[in-house]
Amino acid sequence: AICANRISWYYNFTGPSISCDTACSSSLVALDLAKLYLMENKCKFAVVGGVNVLYNATLTKLFSLTGILSSSGKCRAFDKFADGYVRGEGCSVFIVSKLSTLVKQNIPVDCAIKSICVNQNGQSLTLTHPNCSAQTSVIKSALLDAHVSPQQISYIETHGTGTVRGDKIEINALETVFSECTDITIGTLKPNIGHLEG
């Protein structure tokens, strides 16, 4: 919990300083929190990041016993040979602000986020068996919030962990929302870097 506060102390950042742990959605939920603080003018810029370090083998052993880790040691997202996910380490950090602030201060913009939507699956069979209707609902909400139609989307970066049930449910949710679209590419970084969990 103290990690975010120590980073703020080191760089002399003021304003909200929060560690967010929602498992594998942590960095995206942190981005959503940053959006709320920016929109409420509680800060002008936000540093948002996610990090995962595998510092002991306890969780790896536990996950292995539950059968959610790949027995082959390879993440095969959306593949008929998918047999689970692979744990990974890494860190990603973004500095975000309102577009109007960046334009006003003549700061180069690398990308713009039109919408962020967060929800919870509710009840599902297991941890790796998400709720298709909840996933469909949050995708529709994000499109509606961004004033974007499914036909305007050309690429989707998916969760795509390589778990047999989870990947199928994610594809089913995407097919429901984008059923009338003919030219969408989907992908996931996890076969390249593993699942960074937090």
Phi, psi of 191 (to 5 degrees): -65, -20
Q: Please state, in angstroms and rounded to a whole number, the distance separating the CA atoms of residues 161 and 56.
A: 21
35 vs 17, 74, 148, 165, CA distance in Å?
Answer: 14, 35, 19, 32
Q: Please state, in angstroms and rounded to a whole number, the distance separating the CA atoms of residues 151 and 102.
A: 29
Q: Please state, in angstroms and rounded to a whole number, the distance separating the CA atoms of residues 117 and 111.
A: 18
Q: Please state, in angstroms and rounded to a whole number, the distance separating the CA atoms of residues 192 and 88.
A: 10
Identify any residues that bridge with 89 across adjacent strands, giving them in sequence order. Answer: none
Q: Please state, in angstroms and rounded to a whole number, the distance separating the CA atoms of residues 140 and 174.
A: 10
pTM for this entry: 0.88
Average pLDDT, the chain: 93
The whole-number pLDDT of residue 21 equals 92
pLDDT tens readout for residues 129-152: 789 999 999 999 999 999 999 999
Tokens 């997202």, residue? 77
The whole-number pLDDT of residue 116 equals 94
The whole-number pLDDT of residue 70 equals 94
The whole-number pLDDT of residue 121 equals 86
Please identify every stretch of the chain with a pLDDT value under 50, giving residue numbers as ranges: none
